[in-house]
Structures are given as C-alpha cells and as structure tokens.
Amino acid sequence: MEKITIGKGIYWVGVTDWNLREFHGYRTGRGSTYNSYLILDEKKCVVDTVKTPFTSEFIAKIKELTSLEDIDYIISNHLELDHAGAVAELAKVCPRAKILATGQWIEGAKKYFGPNLPVQQVRTGDKIPLGKNTLTFIEAPMLHWPDSMFTYLPEQEILMPNDAFGQHYATSQIFNDQVPEEILMEEALRYFATILQPLSPLILKMLDKIAGLKLKFKVIAPSHGVIWRNAPEKIIAAYQRWSEGEANREAVVVYDTMWGSTEIIGRKIAEGIMKENLPVSVLSLKENEPGDIITAIFKAKAVALGAPALNNLPFPEMVKLFTFLKGLKPKNKIWALFGSYGWNKGILPQFGEEIKAAGFPMPLPVFETRFRPGPEEEKAAQEFGQALAKLINNKQE
Ligand code: FEO
C-alpha cells in the first residue's frame, strides 16, 4: 500500500466506498470515503474507524504501518456507524488501546456494542500528549449527533472534525488541490444541504467557538471525502455562508404531476420567473432524486412547489419531499404552492397552511386550477411566476 501522509507521522488509513449510492435517503452518485487517521508518535493512536463491511481492509491497512499491540488510543469522534462501525473489532485486536470519546458516545455505544468496551471519556479542552503531538478535544454536540466531537493537533495545526466539512466524494486523490474544485465544492454543498442544514444554528456557534479559541488550521481532515490542505479556510468560510442561509438570486420549481396539468402550470410559472430576468430551474419529482431536489432548493431564494390533489391529500411524492424539508428547515426562502385538482378543491390551500405552519413563508395565495389549465389560467400562472420573481427581486438582503 502506498503510504498517504496528512502530516508528520500521520497516515490516512481510511477506505473508499466507490459504489455507495445511498446515504440517509439521498443518492450519493460519487460514492464516499470513511477516513481514518493513524498517528505514529511515542504513543500511537487511530482517529475514527470505518463502516463495518470494510473492517478487515481497514485493520490490514493499520497493520502495514504498525503493530496492533502498539496502539494506545482509538479516538472515536462520532458514533454513527459509518465511522464507529469497526470500533469494537479494532478495540478487540488492539489489546492495550483505550477508546477516547464523549460521554454521549459512551452511553450510545453500549446500545450498539454492549457494555464492555475499554472506554475513557474526554471533554472539551482535555489534552492527551502523544510525544511530539497533543490530542486536544472539542465537543461538538449535534454535529452531527449528540456524541460528536472534533480532535485537534495543535503542533501540526490539523483538525479532524469528523462529519463537518466532509463530502460524499470517492476519489483516488486524497487532497483538495488534486481534484476539480467545482466538483468538490458542489459535493461539499450537497453534503451540507442534505445532512447538516438543519444544524446551521449550531454550526454558527461552533464556528464562533473555533474563532474564539484562535485555532489555526494547516489541514482540515474530515471523515468523508477529500482532505482540505490547500487554503482550508475556504471551506470554513463556505460553512459560515451556508449556515447563514446564503442562496442565489434564483428560483426553482419542483412538481409532481398526474395527467400533466400541474406540470403545465409549473412551466408557465417558470416562464413568468424568466420574464422578470430571474434564473429558474424546473424539476420533476419523478425524474429527480431527493438529494438533487434538496440541493437545488438550498441554492435558491424562491421555491415553487407543485402537486395535484389525490383523494384528500396532495400527491404522495410531494408529501415525501415536505417530510424531508420539515426536517431540514431551509432558511431565508420564499415559498409558493400550485397544482391542479379534480373534485376536491381546497386540498392544496390546506397543504399550504401546513407548509406555512412548518415555518416556511408563503406570501402568495396558493395557485390551483380544476383539471387542465385553460389559456386564462396559463396566463395567470405566468403572472404568478412574475409575482414570485418580483418578491425575490425586491427582497432586501
Ligand atoms: Fe458520516 Fe454522522 O456520519
């Protein structure tokens, strides 16, 4: 195995999950990695493990670099099984290793691995000297589980923040300066939008905390995707903007349709938006998976959702999207709702009230037509799109 170093005496021993195509209900078209780091100092330690099916490959990588008997610590920054899936097995084959983790991790781990893991709790500010390096811990609850923490090596200015700053991006290139920046930033944004978006207020607090500690970063080594060694402050700045709800001056129309009527309305709304010189994209829920839709919504300032009525409810794919959205809590957007019904007028306005009650502002009345929209209704849909675009164009930042 080629040795990959991310600092002096610090080796990448993670695995690449080339064909991962689903994570938390979203498509991961570029696969992912589960990054783990081996620190060979006077004391030796492994930071984070990998998803369970990769346990043998992972342990073999460590064995190529050191004897398992020599491992003193296993740091587990996060209990979710894409990172802690191999921790129990690794602890079993490293006879003197202690697992260092937060109190929440230790409690949760009992449910996954039983009560007998060799654990030691660490807290924010705790320092464990390894020789030339010092392990320093920063608890990061809810980034992205209650147990999460960051590990920092001050001597080499390396941050290992687990999920934060990661991307589902499998590549043979390990560092950010080795991959196309456009793809990397798109994957980092997509990861933020689909996984971390609801935690934005906590991320802002964490970024403040980090700034307050005056930590410097030469390398930010997350647990998914490539490692930021070239201008790592760039991803921190992006997280600041994304957590504040930064979006483009553009709109997205997302719809499902039964016999094409809702689709016609959606396309007319998009035409109206374009008439006001605002960029827009139109996405069918049948043809696009939730990750693509959520990412497009995250980037836009205005979102028009369209669904026909089915029985006494909106079409199911839209209800599914709304379930995602309620959990993700997108910020700083203007929402609109449109659709077609047959004999159950009022279903969509009722759904509109649910959307508003979930905290999504919807200043325009719901646009609904009975069956196929006629020429007047198509014109009205276009005007509805123009009205939506004007709200964005007039919005004060
Ligand atoms: Fe990559 Fe929260 O797990």
Question: What CATH number has the domain bearing residue 374?
Answer: 3.40.50.360
The one catalytic residue among 37, 73, 191, 341: 191
Give catalytic status of residue 256 as yes or no. Answer: no
Task: Give the number of other Cβ atoms within 10 Å of residue 347's Cβ.
Answer: 21
224 Cβ inside 6 Å of ligand 1 = yes
Closest CA to 36 of 224, 208, 217: 224
Site of tokens 């009345």 = 365
Q: Which of 41, 48, 82, 147 is catalytic?
A: 82
Cα 254 to ligand 1 centroid, rounded to whole Å: 28
Residue tagged 């170093």 (tokens): 5
Q: Do 229 and 275 fall within a single domain?
A: no
Which of 212, 243, 274 is the endpoint of a domain? 243
Rounded Cα gap, residues 57 and 51, in angstroms: 11
- Give me ligand 1 centre to Cα 55, in Å: 17
User: Which residue's CA is minimally distant from atom 1 of ligand 1?
Assistant: 163
Residue 235 maps to which CATH number? 3.60.15.10
Q: In this structure, are 98 and 237 located in the same domain?
A: yes
pLDDT at position 306? 98
Q: How far is CA 330 from CA 244, 286, 391, in A?
A: 10, 22, 18
Give pLDDT < 70 ranges for the chain.
1, 396-397
What pLDDT is stored for residue 397 in this prediction? 56
The reply to whether 311 falls in a domain is yes
Q: What's residue 2's pLDDT?
A: 81
Alpha-carbon distance values, 206 to 26, 225, 305 (Å): 26, 21, 33
Q: Are residues 84 and 155 in the same domain?
A: yes
| Rounded-to-integer distance, Cα 132 and Cα 238, Å | 32
Residues whose CB falls within 8 Å of the CB of residue 96, separated by 6 or more in sequence, listed in order? 69, 71, 72
Q: How does pLDDT run across 219-244, given as a tens digit for each residue? A: 999 999 999 999 999 999 999 999 99
Domain final residue, candidates 243, 277, 308: 243
- Whether 266 and 132 map to the same domain: the answer is no
Closest CA to 300 of 332, 265, 268: 332
Strands (E), 82-176: 98-101, 119-121, 127-129, 134-139, 149-153, 158-162
Name residue, tokens 């006494």. Answer: 312
Determine the residue type at 12. W
pLDDT in tens, 250-275: 999 999 999 999 999 999 999 999 99
Compute the distance from residue 151 Cα to the ligand 1 centre, in Å.
Answer: 15
Distance CA 362, CA 355 (A): 8
> In this structure, are 114 and 149 located in the same domain?
yes
Cβ neighbours for 212, distance < 8 A, ≥ 6 positions apart? none
Q: How many Å apart are CA 254 and CA 241, to the nearest integer?
A: 24
Beta pairing, strands 10-12 & 37-40: antiparallel
Catalytic residue flag (residue 24): yes
Whether 82 lines ligand 1, by a CB cut-off of 6 Å, is yes
User: Range of 288's domain?
Assistant: 248-392
48 lines ligand 1 (CB under 6 A): no
In a domain, 347, yes or no: yes
| pLDDT tens digits, 125-163 | 999 999 999 999 999 998 889 999 999 999 999 999 999
How many domains does the chain contain in total?
A: 2
d(CA 331, CA 136): 33
59 with 168, same domain? yes
Q: Which element (helix H / strand E) includes 205? A: helix 200-213
**Two tokens, residue 254:** 């997302």
Instruction: For residue 164, report the distance from its CA to the centre of ligand 1, in Å.
Output: 9
Percent of the chain clearing pLDDT 90 (strictly above): 96
- The tally of CA atoms less than 13 A away on the side-chain side of residue 228 is 28
Query: In terms of domains, do 169 and 290 share one?
Result: no
- Residue 180 lies inside a defined structural domain of this protein: yes
For residues 374 and 320, membership in a common domain is answered with yes
The answer on 230 and 172 residing in a single domain is yes
24 domain-assigned: yes
Cα separation values, 197 from 123, 261, 295, Å: 25, 33, 10
The CA 180 to ligand 1 mean position distance, Å, reads 24
78 is catalytic: yes
Asked whether residue 116 falls in the same domain as residue 188, the answer is yes
DSSP string, 151-177: EEETTTTEEEEETTT------S--BGG
- Do 128 and 258 fall within a single domain? no
Is residue 10, in this structure, part of any structural domain at all?
Answer: yes
Instruction: Identify the pLDDT of residue 144.
Output: 85
Report the nearest atom of ligand 1 relative to the CA of 224: 1
User: In the annotation, is 144 catalytic?
Assistant: yes
What count of residues does the chain have? 397
Final residue in a domain of this structure, among 243, 269, 303: 243
Q: Any catalytic annotation for residue 341? A: no
254 and 235 within one domain: no
Q: Give CA–CA dist 201/141, Å, rounded.
A: 12
**Rounded-to-integer distance, Cα 238 and Cα 185, Å:** 9
pLDDT in tens, 161-181: 999 999 999 999 999 999 999
397 part of a folded domain: no
Q: Catalytic: 191? A: yes
